[in-house]
Amino acid sequence: MTTRATPSTTADPLVETVLHWYDENARDLPWRRPEASPWSVLVSEFMLQQTPVVRVLPVHEAWLARWPTPAALAAESSGEAVRAWGRLGYPRRALRLHGAAVAITEQHGGEVPASYDDLLALPGVGDYTAAAVAAFAFGQRQVVLDTNVRRVLARTMTGTEFPPRSVTRAERDLGASLLPQDAPTAATWSVAVMELGALVCTADRPRCGGCPVVARCAWQQSGAPAYDGPPRQVQTYAGTDRQCRGRLLAVLRDAPGAVPKARLDTVWENAEQRERALASLVEDGLATLDADGRYRLP
User: Which residue numbers are catalytic?
Assistant: 45
Backbone phi and psi for residue 211, each to the nearest 5 degrees, phi listed first = -85, 130
H-assigned helices in 34-168: 38-47, 53-66, 70-74, 78-85, 92-107, 116-120, 127-138, 147-153
Nearest of 129, 183, 176, 200 to residue 2 by alpha carbon: 183
CB 133 within 8 A of CB 100: no
What gap in Å lies between CA 29 and CA 242, rounded to an integer? 29
Backbone phi and psi for residue 144, each to the nearest 5 degrees, phi listed first = -110, 115
Angle at 79 between CA 75 and CA 84, to 5 degrees: 90
What gap in Å lies between CA 201 and CA 181, rounded to an integer? 25
Q: DSSP class of residue 259?
A: B
What gap in Å lies between CA 189 and CA 141, rounded to an integer? 10
